[in-house]
Amino acid sequence: MDIKTATALRRLRLVSAPEAVSFLILIVCSVLKRTTDFNAVPVMGAIHGVLFVLYVLFWADAWNRTKWPLTTAAVYFVLSVLPTGGFFAERRLRREAEDAVIAARARKEGVVNA
């Protein structure tokens, strides 16, 4: 895995958890808006919107660089629209990055032809 691909995956991983948190906070704010006089939906909506757009941009970049199959790319996109999906995406991306580092070290040491 080259450095640009690793960077694209890292960016996607780093934005996935904050996007999930902002989605959950937005849901809480929506409930509070309807049950109390507290209205933070415009602010949280904007924050979540920016994070979601960043997630989609980073997802598209990662898909382009990693050449994921359509099913893998679709799973990462679906995880972005689920309230807690960003946490699962972050975990899977971290595991994928660790596996890539292990494979790169093995290739460098000549252990495998991966």
What does the DSSP assignment read for 63-79? HHHHT--HHHHHHHHHH
CA dihedral 34, 79, 65, 3 (to 10 degrees): 90
At 93-113, the pLDDT tens digits run: 998 888 877 877 887 887 765
Q: What is the pLDDT of residue 104?
A: 77
pTM: 0.84
At 11-62, the pLDDT tens digits run: 999 999 999 999 999 999 999 999 999 999 999 999 999 999 999 999 999 9
